[in-house]
């Protein structure tokens, strides 16, 4: 081998390999894509938690007590409802509002029993599912309709089997009776609702453990306004059930317009400077 040939072989051995056509930019782009995706997912998760903690949250509470306003019966698809968490920062719940609330200690009969897993991965998936209404929330959460507020007296029933508030019968078109059953409610003694508390009932009156029975009934069956999580606004799932949840005020419709006027006047006066 000549000296020139040996020199050429030596130069070829030390000569670096030619760079790839994209100069390694493909690997950089892939790494950047996964990094940006992870960041976006993290931001979306944080925003979801913040929105559902402070503004609104999708709930599924599989209870038949609100049939047929809300579906939660055995053998049917449970409704997912969007709950407004903001409104009650500006006013108290009103008669006719459908509210989601934490069951007070006196409420010993839950609307349902959630299945809990000891597997941390399953627990995390259940928590994520509850954020968007794909999994059940805490079994101590209830959904009922406000019937009477603090200072009012509620009882049942008049000769036409209507609930009375302050001696006046309510107009309740949302009441549901199971077909073939007794189409009336059982009587209960007058209950004067304490200030800062609510008397709530399910729309399916024969299938609801509510203020009439929980804690032995009476004052013990009322719930504190501070236990209210928010107002159920809209049915978001399933698609065939989309719609606004009625907040029909049974007291106004039954002749309580003056009461509503007084409440609005008091609320407006509370905003005036002293």
What Cα–Cα distance (Å) separates residue 118 from each residue in 114, 121, 198, 253?
A: 13, 9, 36, 50
Q: E strands within the chain?
A: 56-59, 80-84, 98-102, 141-149, 153-156, 163-165, 168-169, 188-192, 197-201, 223-224, 228-237, 243-244
Q: Which of 251, 57, 262, 73 is nearest to 154 (CA)?
A: 251
Q: Which residues contact 167 (CB under 8 A, 6 or more apart)?
A: 153
Contact 252, 172 (CB under 8 A): no
Terminal CA-CA length for the chain: 108
63, 85, 130, 144: the catalytic one is 144
**Does residue 32 have an active-site annotation?**
no
**Does residue 144 have an active-site annotation?**
yes
Contact 190, 154 (CB under 8 A): yes
Q: Which residues contact 190 (CB under 8 A, 6 or more apart)?
A: 153, 154, 155
57, 63, 65, 85: the catalytic one is 65
Rounded distance between C-alpha atoms, residue 225 and residue 199, angstroms: 10
Contact 200, 211 (CB under 8 A): yes
For residue 144, list its beta bridge partners. Answer: 99
Torsion angle, CA of 205/211/214/219, rounded to 10 degrees? -150
* Residues tagged active-site: 65, 144
């Amino acid at each position: 081998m000549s000296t020139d040939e040996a020199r050429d072989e030596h130069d070829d051995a030390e000569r670096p390999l030619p760079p790839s056509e994209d100069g390694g930019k493909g690997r950089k782009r892939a790494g950047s894509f996964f990094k940006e995706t992870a960041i976006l997912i993290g931001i979306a998760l944080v925003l979801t938690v913040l929105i559902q903690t402070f503004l609104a949250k999708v709930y599924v509470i599989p209870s038949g007590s609100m049939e047929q306003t809300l579906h939660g019966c055995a053998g049917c698809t449970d409704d997912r409802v969007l709950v407004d968490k903001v409104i009650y920062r500006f006013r108290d719940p009103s008669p006719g509002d459908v509210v989601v609330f934490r069951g007070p200690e006196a409420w010993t009969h839950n609307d349902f029993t959630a299945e809990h897993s000891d597997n941390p991965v399953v627990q995390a998936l259940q928590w994520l599912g509850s954020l968007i209404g794909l999994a059940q929330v805490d079994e101590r959460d209830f959904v009922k309709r406000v019937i009477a507020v603090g200072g009012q007296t509620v009882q049942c029933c008049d000769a036409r089997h209507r609930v009375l508030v302050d001696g006046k019968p309510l107009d309740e078109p949302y009441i549901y009776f199971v077909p073939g059953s007794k189409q009336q409610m059982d009587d209960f003694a007058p209950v004067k609702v304490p200030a800062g508390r609510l008397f709530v009932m399910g729309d399916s009156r024969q299938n609801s453990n509510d203020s009439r029975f929980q804690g032995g009934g009476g004052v013990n069956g009322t719930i504190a306004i501070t236990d209210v999580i928010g107002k159920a606004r809209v049915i978001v799932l399933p698609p065939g059930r989309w719609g606004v949840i009625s907040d029909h005020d049974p007291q106004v419709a039954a002749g309580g317009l003056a009461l509503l006027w007084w409440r609005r006047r008091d609320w407006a006066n509370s905003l005036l400077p002293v």
